[in-house]
Amino acid sequence: MTMAQKGRWLVVTGLVLLGGVYVRALAFTPVERFQGPAQKIFYVHVPAAVTTELAVILLGLAGVFYLFLKDPRLDRFAESSAEVGTVFASIVLTTGPIWGKPIWGTWWTWDARLTSTLFLFFLLVGYQVLRGAVTDGALRARYSAVLGICAVV
């Protein structure tokens, strides 16, 4: 079995197990007394938020190390972290309002946490736009590293 086949097998196994965990969490856990079924959104929302924050921290660290070491692997790692962060931030920004509507009675409030998550999402999207706009590889990596560090702050 080649490494590519092992990688595919690992991805398929992980997705099946993840699907099983979510089915169990959403279908077989008791309904919370005050929030009702909307509370179960947290089983998706909170891990997505934690993953977003972890991805952004890794993006910033990779940016700092890239500026010192100029290793292209760090730039690729930072780019991958930004992509993961963007995907999970979009999940957070989708599941949050779905929970907020029945609980708060509104889809969105301009709370500091919500607004900062939206701003972080825009920074991550801007990071991707920057990488697509700059054609010179070294310059793109340097600008991206600085923006990635700013995203952490």
Work out whether the CA dihedral 8, 10, 13, 18 comes out positive or negative.
negative
Q: Which of 5-19, 40-54, 63-77 has the lowest mean pLDDT?
A: 5-19
pLDDT in tens, 141-153: 999 999 999 999 8
pTM attached to this predicted model: 0.85
What pLDDT score was predicted for residue 53? 96
Judge contact between 151 and 60, C-beta under 8 A: yes
Q: What is the mean pLDDT of residues 8-30?
A: 86
What pLDDT score was predicted for residue 56? 97
Q: How confident is the model at residue 22 (pLDDT cuts 50, 70, 90)?
A: confident
pLDDT in tens, 31-64: 888 888 888 888 889 999 999 999 999 999 999 9
The DSSP string of 102-119 is HHHSSS----HHHHHHHH
Q: What Cα–Cα distance (Å) separates residue 65 from each residue in 9, 45, 88, 124, 150?
A: 32, 30, 24, 19, 14
CA 115 to chain centre: 16
Does the pLDDT at position 20 exceed 80?
yes
What pLDDT score was predicted for residue 126? 96
pLDDT in tens, 95-139: 999 988 888 889 999 989 899 999 999 999 999 999 999 999 899
